[in-house]
Structure 1
Amino acid sequence: MKVGILGATGYTGQELLRLLNNHPEVTLAHLGSSTSAGKRISDICPHLQESLENVLETEELPDVDVVFMALPHGIAAARARELMEHGIKIVDLGADFRLKDAQEYENWYKVKHADPALLPKAVYGLPELYRNEIAGKALVANPGCYPTASQLALVPLLRAGLLDPNSIIIDAKSGVSGAGRGIVQNLHYSEVNENFKAYGVGVHRHTPEIEQQLSGAADAKVVISFTPHLVPMTRGILATIYAGVKSGITEQELRDCWQQDYEKEPFIHVMPEREWPQTKYTNGSNHAFLQLRYDQRTGRVVLVSVIDNLVKGASGQAIQNMNILFDLPETTGLQTTALWP
């Protein structure tokens, strides 16, 4: 397949390059950048020196089979229709097609949606949960990083009716790379190092995405309390989730639900009892690790979900979606294990 990447020099774009360079069915045919056209990608990303000598092009219409759009919100929606009319499949790593309601998108992202008519054509691309909906589609909305970690823990349990959908609290922590490469004062080393802070409390843009997907799983409107935190590390997400358990449900039933849904999933790992996931378990890989404990004293279950925000939370999942679109094994190009230590 001839592959294009728009936004190739951002963190998710670079991660796509790193992973796709080892994909046996891919030719990197177009690397687009609005700011670095004419430069070699290896000049901007020296760690790719030995493998990629592609020259960055403008973000004009590429001659490819599939394009990854690693662009800020508001841009992909304005370009998607033209690409699709030329028979190009799209995996959008931004937010433009994640929400089904254009007005809700505009409320949370503070920009007008460029093409609301395309929203019904987009499919939400979290393979382990929505695989059957992805195959054969032309426009995939790649989930956000916090929503991926949260849904992997919650969706199977909500579908099975094991949780109280009105009791969910998500307390999540992310590495700094989740904010992208932009130069922002509160992301400077001296601001982040030796520091730990909550942000976007009650207003984080991933909130409606999580609520939309959990509502579908529960077949009822779900409203959550979601608080993200910035941790002084480069990559990784750890979500600690609290939820009320339906009367009579045991910890083993909760664990069995996960095991049943994920036993054949190569990237999702339910850890042995009382062993808790760490972000380093996923560093640089497309894997996710889950653990739970039912606290009978409070009647709540504590769920912990860990992913790499740039891989399973972005670029690795995007490649997993591409593999589905082209009827390839989902693990193709994604067999890397985590770096340790």
Structure 2
Amino acid sequence: MSDLPVSFADIQAAAVRIAPYVHRTPVLESRRLNEILGGRVAFKCENQQRIGAFKARGAHNAVFSLSDAEAAKGVVTHSSGNHAAALALAASNRGVAAHIVMPRNAPKAKVESVRRLGGQIVFCEPTIAARESACEAIMAETGAVLVHPYDDALVIAGQGTAALELLEERPELDFILAPVGGGGLMSGTSIAARAIKPSIRIVATEPAQANDAWRSWTAKAWTAGDAPNTIADGLRTTLGQRGFVILNALLDDFVTVSEDGIRDAMRLVWEVLKIVIEPSSAVPVAALLERKLDLQGAAAGVILTGGNVDLDRLPWQA
């Protein structure tokens, strides 16, 4: 793994760096879910993380890695989701400005969350080109440092601390699963898991209707996907270049799941574990529910990535 853009040492350093600012989230297990899913499953509950998602880890690692001179100029990113709130929180904890570029059609609840955390929002048209252009303009005007939502080595290292904690608590795991959007979490998870337990099987999961990362991994070449059309809104992003390199090197398997599977898995976790998760969190659970992996006699760890949902528009209410 020495030639990868992020090392296990980077993840270990990130764990120390972010410890004062993020939660060590609980790991839950349910006898009933074990029976339904066909094996022992440990759930790492990042839905109970600061801002309700694992993104707090990467954002804090990036912000607190900056020198005082760099941080004084603030940070900038483009995001309509959890990374926006995570960066606003991390910047607030560091006492620096956070410039957040958000599309005009961003959900009101997420806009309000960023504002509540002190983020300075700049709205743009809902295209990647518009987001990147707005970020470049802010960087030119303020000197703010870009903290990319997923294609950033410091962000990837921070996200890997969730798997580090999970395997410290559950070293017996035979599988570890997480969802893929931009690839930051899955990349950090893969590096941590392979370093801690080389024999573990690392499995990426993705909606079949937003499968650009699966296509890239299968082809062993970065491949643009079709326009995503999935209820897993946190995964409607394109796999980053760093993520592609890491996943191509370390993954054992990559499976895709149906929209019905995501919906059923999300509802199942709500009903049985009595916790709120968002559709993106349900993707690896759907992989087990749809029997994409054989867990007979095995133990699996699943990272539940977040719990930010619109309670008036739940998937099973459509």
Which structure ranks higher in relative contact order (CA pairs < 8 Å, sequence separation ≥ 6)? 2
TM-score (norm 2): 0.34
Higher helix share: 2
TM-score (norm 1): 0.33
Bigger radius of gyration among the two:
1
